[in-house]
Amino acid sequence: MYDLREGAVNRGELAAYGTWLDEMGDELDDTAREMNLATAGGFGLERVEALLPYRPVCSTAGQRRAALAALLRIGGDSFTLAAINDTLRGCGLNARAEEGEQPGYVKVYFPEVAGIPEGFEGLRAIIEEILPSHVDVTYVFWYNTWAMAAQRHPTWGDAAGTGLSWYGLATENDGVLGWE
C-alpha cells in the first residue's frame, strides 16, 4: 500500500511512474498518428514511401498523404481514364491523360506548364509506372503563341524589359491553360 501524504517517501516513486506513463502515452499517440495515412506527417509517410518504387512529386505533408493514398488506390480496375487522372492528380502531378485517336494510345498533357516541365524525366517515370504497360504514351507540350505573348507584353519594350530569353517568353506562364 502507498502512503500518499505530503512528504511520504513513496510519493516520489509514484510521481516518477506517472511521468514515465505520460511519456509513453505521448509516444503511443505519436505512433498512432503516424500509422494512419490520413494523419501521418513524418516517419509514417517515409515508411509508406519506402514500399513504393518512387517518391511522389510533392512538398507538403498533406500533398504527400494525398499522393500516397492515390498510389495505394491503384488496382486491377484502376485503369479507366477518370481513375488514371485521379491518380495523376493525387500524386501531385500537374498532368492530364486523354485517350488517343487509336485504341491503346494515351496523350498526357501538362496543362499549367508551358514547355517541358522541370524534372520531366522523373514525372515520366511515375506516369509510365501508373499507366498500364500495354498503353503507348504520347507527351504533349505547349508553348505560348505570339498572340499569348502579346497579351502579356503589348510592345517589344515590355517584352525586353522582362529580361526573358525567347524560350523564356515561349514558356512564361501566368495560369493560362495553353493546350485546350
pLDDT in tens, 21-40: 999 999 999 888 888 888 88
Identify the H or E element spanning 68.
helix 61-72
Average pLDDT of span 101-112? 86
- Split at pLDDT 50, 70, 90, the class of 179 is very low
Domain with CATH 1.10.287 in the chain: 43-140
Q: What percent of the chain has pLDDT over 90?
A: 7
16 has pLDDT over 50: yes
> What is the model's pLDDT at position 119?
80
> What is the model's pLDDT at position 1?
63
Say which DSSP state 33 is in.
H
Average pLDDT of span 144-162? 85
Query: Taking all residues of the chain, what is their mean pLDDT, rounded to a whole number?
Result: 80
For residue 24, the SS3 value is helix
Long-range contacts of 92-98 (CB under 8 A, 24+ apart): 92/56, 92/57, 92/58, 92/63, 92/64, 92/66, 92/67, 93/57, 93/123, 93/126, 93/127, 95/123, 95/127, 97/131
- Split at pLDDT 50, 70, 90, the class of 76 is low
Q: Would you identify the CATH topology of the domain 43-140?
A: Helix Hairpins (1.10.287)
- Least trusted range by pLDDT, from 16-20, 146-150, 175-179: 175-179
Average pLDDT of span 165-175? 78
Rounded distance between C-alpha atoms, residue 132 and residue 106, angstroms:
10
The whole-model pTM stands at 0.58
